[in-house]
Structure 1
Amino acid sequence: MEYDFQEQSYYGFDSNKKKVYFIAKTDQEPENPLLLIHELAHAELGHLDYQSDLELVLIEIKAWDKARAICQDIGVEYDPRLRDACIQTYIDWYKLRGTCPNCDTLCINKHQKYNCYQCLTSWEVSSSLHPDPRKYNLVF
């Protein structure tokens, strides 16, 4: 499969455009081939979209596992500490969004809506992968 590569302010993969985004090396930003390989792993695995935040965490884990295999194939050093740190950011993001604001139960969402199976509270979250993920729309 062929992909277009585009310099950007982040690493990412756009499945619709078949584009892999990367941060160019600068004096302030060192080159990190492992992050680029991780995004290629998403492409190779055919990751398109996800239905829940937990599914996104699992997709990230699969992409890091594939990145490890690619690194072995091409002789690039794989850093499990980077993998763990990156995955932990998704876990933290999921916990922030998915923890019930009423009873602290960790829940699973569908799209941007969470429903707590413990206390029946409902809330919505933004579609953003970045900070400030929870937007309350509570129903008791």
Structure 2
Amino acid sequence: MSGTVTETLVPGKFLCVMVHLLLIIVIYYLRDNNIYAGVKSTVASDDDDYKSAEAVLLVSLAFTTICLAFELIIIVIGLTIYFDTLSATSIFLHALGILFSIWFVLLYWPYWIYWYIWLFTSFIPFFFEFMTVLTARIFFLYKY
């Protein structure tokens, strides 16, 4: 039974992470409306307020990309394949990340809201994945 669950969860996790990463690229290219939603609409694109808002959004997108890249590497290496609860949690949180990222683009949410999306849908799965890999590595070192 565990084999079939694992065979279903790992591809699902991979697809969710890839779609989430694709949406980060979409947000990068469509970021102007979200920046204008968070600053005054009279601000020009060369104004300091616009540039600082753009920098905040780009930093949050960079952190999201780093978290997703780490998870993607761990999936490809296969260190957490047999942790079904971790995979199910990761799939759920990344599915929420996909949904919120789509709403972020389509509803022109202000740029600063993306930090909350990053925290709950990218950092938490990254943290769980990192702690699982670290714990497995420590147990492996002490066992052998």
Shorter-chain TM-score tier: 0.3 to 0.5
Structure whose residues are more often strand by fraction:
1
Larger fraction in helix: 2
The TM-score, its normalising length taken from structure 1, stands at 0.36
The structure with higher relative contact order (CA 8 Å, sep 6+) is 2
TM-score between both structures, scaled by the size of structure 2: 0.35
